[in-house]
Structure 1
Amino acid sequence: MKAWLNHAGDTINQWTFEEVETPTPGEGQAMIRVQAAALNPVDYKATKNPAWTYPHIPGVDLTGIVEQVGENVTEVEPGDRVAIHTNLQKNGAFAEYAVVDARALAKIPDAVSFTEAAAILCAGMTAYEAIVQKMNTTGKETILIHAGAGGVGGIGIQLAKRLGLSVATTASTENHDWVKKLGADLAIDYKKENVTEAIRNWTNGRGADLIFNTVGRDEATADFGRLAFSGQLAFIAGGPDQSVVKPFTLSPSVHEVALAAAYASEDDRAIRNLGHMANELLKLVAAKELDPLVTEEIPAADIVKGLQRLSERHVRGKIIATF
């Protein structure tokens, strides 16, 4: 089979696309004939891992058709159309065939394409875990979602609107029409505007009830200045410095969101929850209640070129590679 190979913790421009041996599934695993793979920031950021044996096949999101199953697999059978956010510790999605943990698989509804299903995995599941599973949205009114033009932010905006929340998001001016089309009530140009002042003005000085930070530690720390009393802050790219908050003043709740940690925990319920989240998102896509935000399809041979553009942080929605 053809696969992209990272030979020794190399940067993405040193990866090669070449022939390798086709894997076979072990106990609890399924072998998938890959049809589509989503490109994600983690793919170009996480190029080294002590758990990997090189050459390593990168990629964390794939969809395809079950070819074989190993022993004690009851979740799927050959011929099923499936989607999965894979284990970052193992060989991944950028190949014609992949072996995956069957517990985390989701079956793709007939009304959903392989490309659409690939787009809602890492990005959609991250947003779903943060906003639907971890945050308590009961009685809440406002949410700030950073980087709304990206995959995670774009799905997050749609999920938040489904929950009846008013949504503010950060995005460059050229993306304001895009994020408002997704449902954002307020778009803030983080390059030109003071985000904290904008949120305070939007909420009449109170601050946002909820904040979903997809940017990094420094911005997450700054979010404490944008948070309402007893508000909730979820983050994916570096936790905030909580020492900046004086005890018994703001009373915030802080949530770490890390899909890869489910596999690392080896907790059966956590791993199966990955499949559950994917299933719930696929139902929404099938019902036309969620736009998976596919903005570009590329051939598998162009994955590195796609990741290079993604790393420049000017891509709207999701780039999907097809096999």
Structure 2
Amino acid sequence: MFATEAAHNAGHVEALGAEAVIDFRTEDIPARVRELTDGRGLDAVVDTIGTDSATANLRLLVHGGGLAAIAGRPDLSAVPPFGMLTDLLELTAEDRLDPMLARGIALEDVPAALVELSGRGVRGKLVHVRD
């Protein structure tokens, strides 16, 4: 667990269980977090400061990390879109993504298709096609 606090309170915060205390008055918090986590980021952040702080703390989280904002809601538009999804959407829009469709199936054929899929002999995807 890491904490942000003024240097004069660092000892007290460490006694409460913090592995490291980042001096919010003198240190670059994102740079220090990257250093402490070997560039990984944080799994969770509890922000008790306000909207601007909560928004900035979103950038400290790993993908799937969580933020508990006590004093102000973060601006979620500050979070860039997840890169892989953006890339997949671009490939789809450019018709460069092969979905590997084996065949389309009618609704009444879905149970048999599930049995076929369970045998792991299908290459590609079986997709229900609406009439």
TM-score tier, shorter chain, comes to: 0.5 to 0.7
Structure 1 residue aligned with 2:58: 224
**Structure 2 unmatched runs, 5+:** 85-131
CA distance change for structure 1 residues 171 and 236 in 2, over 3 Å: closer, same or farther? same
Among 227, 244, 250, which residue is 2:78 paired with? 244
Structure 2 residue aligned with 1:186: 20
Structure 1 residues 214-235: Cα deviation after superposition (integer angstroms, max 9, x where no partner): 1111011111221111110111
Structure 2 residue aligned with 1:210: 44
Amino acid at match of 2:36: W
Deviation at residue 202 of structure 1 after TM alignment: 0.6
Structure 1 residues 86-105: Cα deviation after superposition (integer angstroms, max 9, x where no partner): xxxxxxxxxxxxxxxxxxxx
Amino acid at match of 1:196: P
Amino acid at match of 1:203: T
- Residue correspondences, number: 84
The answer to whether the 8 Å contact 2:3/2:22 transfers is: yes
Structure 1 residues 193-221: Cα deviation after superposition (integer angstroms, max 9, x where no partner): 00111111111101000100011110111
* Whole-Å separation in 1 of the counterparts to 2:83 and 2:36: 22
Q: How does 1:290-301 map to 2 (within 5 A)?
A: none
Structure 1 residue aligned with 2:2: 168
Deviation at residue 246 of structure 1 after TM alignment: 2.1
* Whole-Å separation in 2 of the counterparts to 1:181 and 1:205: 26
Post-superposition, which runs of at least 4 consecutive aligned residues in structure 1 deviate over 6 A? none
1:196 aligns with 2:18: no
Amino acid at match of 1:242: L
* Whole-Å separation in 1 of the counterparts to 2:20 and 2:70: 22
Amino acid at match of 1:190: F
Aligned-residue identity in percent: 40
* Whole-Å separation in 2 of the counterparts to 1:223 and 1:249: 19
* Whole-Å separation in 2 of the counterparts to 1:204 and 1:224: 18
SS at match of 1:184: coil
SS at match of 1:232: strand
CA distance change for structure 1 residues 211 and 201 in 2, over 3 Å: closer, same or farther? same
Amino acid at match of 2:48: T
Deviation at residue 248 of structure 1 after TM alignment: 2.7
Instruction: Tell which structure's C-alpha radius of gyration is larger.
Output: 2
Among 229, 233, 236, which residue is 2:67 paired with? 233
CA distance change for structure 1 residues 209 and 249 in 2, over 3 Å: closer, same or farther? farther
- What's the TM-score once normalised by structure 1's chain length? 0.25
Structure 2 residue aligned with 1:46: none
Say what the alpha-carbon RMSD is for the aligned residues.
Answer: 1.4
Deviation at residue 170 of structure 1 after TM alignment: 0.4
Amino acid at match of 2:29: V
Higher helix share: 2
**Structure 1 unmatched runs, 5+:** 1-166, 251-323
Q: Which has the higher contact order (CA 8 A, sep 6+)?
A: 1
Structure 2 residue aligned with 1:278: none
